[in-house]
A and B are shown apart, each in its own frame.
Chain A
Amino acid sequence: MTEPIIRIENVHFAYNAQSENPIVALTDINLEVMPGEYLVIVGHNGSGKSTLAKHLNALLLPTQGDVWVNGMNTKNGAHTLTIRSTVGMVFQIPDNQIVATVVEEDVAFGPANLGVPEDELRERIDWALDVVDMQNFRHRAPHLLSAGQKQRVAIAGAMALKPQVLILDESTSMLDPAGREEVLSAVRRLNQAGTTIIAITHYMHEAVEGDRIVVMEAARTVTQGSPREVFSQVEELRALQLDVPQVTELSYALHQRDETFPPNLLTVEEIVAEIIRRKELEVAT
């Protein structure tokens, strides 16, 4: 059986753990991520999503419990560098992550610092810019790019380190619809090429992209499953005041009026097909 690439065991974490008023951010988290998986973490501000993400590449260490990346415990300082080149991270605001004045130099920054030889460096830059579809911009200045393009450069920069896992921490929340679609399709391509994806998002129609969704609330994981399983729990999600995609909301509203209508459709294509199927059935009978 394949080993999980990330294993989180009984993790507790508190900010200012030693002080009088520790702020508990993670409580009893247990989670495994398999290689090649596309995992989405959703939850409100302050639910612990970003804190959890920062545990996956040793930016934070658990107060209790253990995080294992490829069998390496993040608490072992000797593994920190290996872990950080295994798990790459892209944040919300690309400007904070871009360091160079030319796109290709920015992408080269990470691997060049690791001492990757010139020839391989060129290959990696080409590959990373290809994956995010930014080859045509390689000689441009990052600050003159659109937000979606900048975010794709930031992803390319993370990918040039050839991580096995890419974490996207609300990497689309500052983007307009077109920019969001650009980034999502780049992420989809990476995942198809075998990269494990862990995406943190507020946008429920983006969560539908994942193989598995984990919902966090008040420092705990409260539910998880495939998008269809999770979004079937419309009432539970509403109780947590989380959004469901409009398609699912509509599908659930129609189900309430007619029990035979499926309550948990996820995509526009699915619901349109279902409505058409029903109309055709009607004509046939």
Chain B
Amino acid sequence: MKDTHQAQPFIQVNDLHHVYLRGTPLEVTALKGVTLEIYEGESIGIIGRTGAGKSTIVQHFNGLLRARQPGKVILEGQDMSDPSVKVKAIRQKVGLVFQHPEQQLFERLVGDDIAFGPKRLGLSREERRERVRWAMEMVGLDFERFKDRFTFSLSGGEMRKAAIAGVLALQPKVLILDESTTGVDPRGRKDLLARILELHRHHGMTLIFVSPNMEEVASMVDRVYVIDDGRTAMSGTTREIFDRPDDLRQYGLGVPQVTTIAHQLREHSLPITRTPLTVAEAAEDVWKILNS
């Protein structure tokens, strides 16, 4: 939840624009005015239809894209368009995991791959080992069993975990998952998401979660920004956002099934007061109604 006594957001985006391949015949305007703010320790969902600009936004958060066009990205008080900003330091604070994180692996051995970041930070051998051990434990890869495995011999789900561990080994303050669980099967996904939630809740890691799966978003984050056609279209707490199914539909999005159930019961004048976001919440709410 937003901590009101934090004066300054960790990430502040004001009226951000972005054009790819500017000045060429292939010019594409991806962002036309995005405004949002993210405070330390929050969990934020960014949702929108394919091509809305979600990935373009999050790539500004670790300096992969720089705001040189209208609009500003301020990260911990630093203007990211300032050429003197040290991108290396930023990437240590803001870890980004892409849609196909297995493509982020490049070393031969799993342990070396995860140790790559800490090594670049100049950490000692001992510190590196500890970082790698910690990161692997966090994603659920057994250190002894996996550190000397060949990266290419991992299953798809294990590759994703290894790639996420590589980002976590930098101990970033902010973890961005850009559709990183798409295509992972339910078993791998649930396990991974539970571990990431644990990092957020118990280690205070700020979480930015981009996903096309509304049920996942509903169970993972406290606040949501809806992006449509390169602009911020909606923002609010997760419950507020999913309480507006008609608006979401207009942006090509939906709501979790249990939320739809609550909306329909309300239309039949059954008094469901809060909007349930998970099956557990819905079971509680419906049970109350059945026994009132």
Which residues of A are at the interface with B, using a C-beta cutoff of 8 A? 43-46, 92, 146-148, 170, 173-179, 202, 205, 240-243, 245-247, 249-250, 253-254, 257-258, 268, 271-272, 275-276, 278-279
Contacts and interface: CB of A to CB of B under 8 A. Distances in A.
B86 interface: no
A95 B237 CA distance: 36
Given A247-B261, A279-B270, A173 B183 contact: yes
Contact of A177 (B190, B254, B280, B286): B254
Nearest to B272: A275
A275 B270 contact: yes
B212 A177 contact: yes
A205 B256 CA distance: 11
Contact of A146 (B48, B51, B261, B282): B51
A146 B48 CA distance: 13
Given A45-B156, A245-B257, A272 B50 contact: no
Contacts of A268: 257, 260-261, 264
A257 B253 contact: no
B287 A254 contact: yes
A178 B49 contact: yes
Contact of B214 (A46, A177, A242, A278): A177
B261 A272 contact: yes
Contacts of A246: 215, 256-258, 279, 282
Contacts of B283: 250, 253-254, 257
B155 interface: yes
From B190, B257, B282, residue with most partner A Cβ within 10 Å: B257
8 contacts: A45-B156, A174-B183, A176-B48, A176-B252, A179-B252, A246-B258, A246-B282, A279-B289
Given A45-B155, A177-B214, A275 B257 contact: no
A228 B240 CA distance: 33
A250 to B, nearest CB: 5
A243 B257 CA distance: 13
Nearest to B186: A243
Contacts of A253: 279-280, 283
B211 to A, nearest CB: 10
B20 to A, nearest CB: 14
Contacts of B49: 146, 176, 178-179
Nearest to A267: B257
A275 B286 contact: yes
A257 B284 CA distance: 10
A254 B252 CA distance: 31
Interface string B143-159: 00000000000011100
A152 to B, nearest CB: 13
A240 B279 CA distance: 19
Contacts of A241: 186-187, 190
A146 B228 CA distance: 13
A41 B241 CA distance: 33
B185 interface: yes
B187 A276 contact: no
B290 A250 contact: no
A250 B261 contact: yes
Interface string B257-269: 1101100110010
Nearest to A181: B254
Given A45-B157, A175-B50, A202-B186, 5 more contacts: A45-B184, A173-B183, A178-B249, A179-B49, A250-B282
B3 to A, nearest CB: 31
A118 to B, nearest CB: 34
B185 A272 contact: no
B182 interface: yes
Contacts of B212: 175-177
From B48, B183, B253, residue with most partner A Cβ within 10 Å: B183
Contacts of B156: 45-46
A244 to B, nearest CB: 10
Contacts of A175: 50, 212
A97 B234 CA distance: 35
